[in-house]
């Protein structure tokens, strides 16, 4: 598992906290990251397998993709050009 550290300005934190509630910023950010990871994992399952990601649990999706050579961002950009 990877640990990622992000930095935001104090005022940005205060703004988020005023919107989300005291002590809720970290949980909100974690949820946002988890959701984006789920979306990209589902897209990769659709792109690289014949399975429907909506019918699979997280671990099954990750198992399906563990041996797949995923393209880099640069490779994706080249394919789309």
CA pair distance 39, 45, nearest whole angstrom:
10
- Note the pLDDT tens digit of each residue in 22-48: 999 999 999 999 999 999 999 999 999
Q: Cα–Cα distances in Å, from 55 out to 17, 51, 77?
A: 35, 8, 29
Where residue 49 falls among pLDDT bands split at 50, 70, 90? very high
21 domain-assigned: yes
pLDDT band at 76 (very low <50, low <70, confident <90, very high): confident
Evaluate whether residue 44 is within a structural domain.
yes
For residue 20, being part of any structural domain is answered with yes
Stretch 39-68: mean pLDDT, rounded? 96
Please name which of 69, 64, 42, 63 lies closest in space to residue 53, comparing C-alpha atoms.
42
Residue ranges making up the domain that contains 62: 10-68
Structure tokens at 74: 């640069």
Q: What is the pTM of this model?
A: 0.81
Q: Is the residue at 49 inside a domain?
A: yes
Tokens 């949820």 identify what position? 31
- Is 80 a member of any domain? no
Whether the predicted pLDDT of 20 surpasses 80: yes
- Tally of domains in the chain: 1
The answer to whether residue 15 sits within a structural domain is yes
């Amino acid at each position: 598992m990877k640990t990622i550290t992000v930095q935001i300005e104090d005022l940005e934190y205060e703004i988020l906290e005023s919107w989300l509630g005291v002590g809720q910023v970290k949980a909100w950010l974690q949820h946002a990251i988890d959701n984006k990871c789920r979306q990209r994992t589902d897209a990769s399952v659709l792109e690289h397998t014949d399975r429907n990601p909506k019918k699979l649990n997280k671990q099954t999706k990750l198992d399906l993709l563990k041996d797949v050579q995923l393209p880099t961002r640069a490779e994706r950009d080249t394919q789309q050009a």
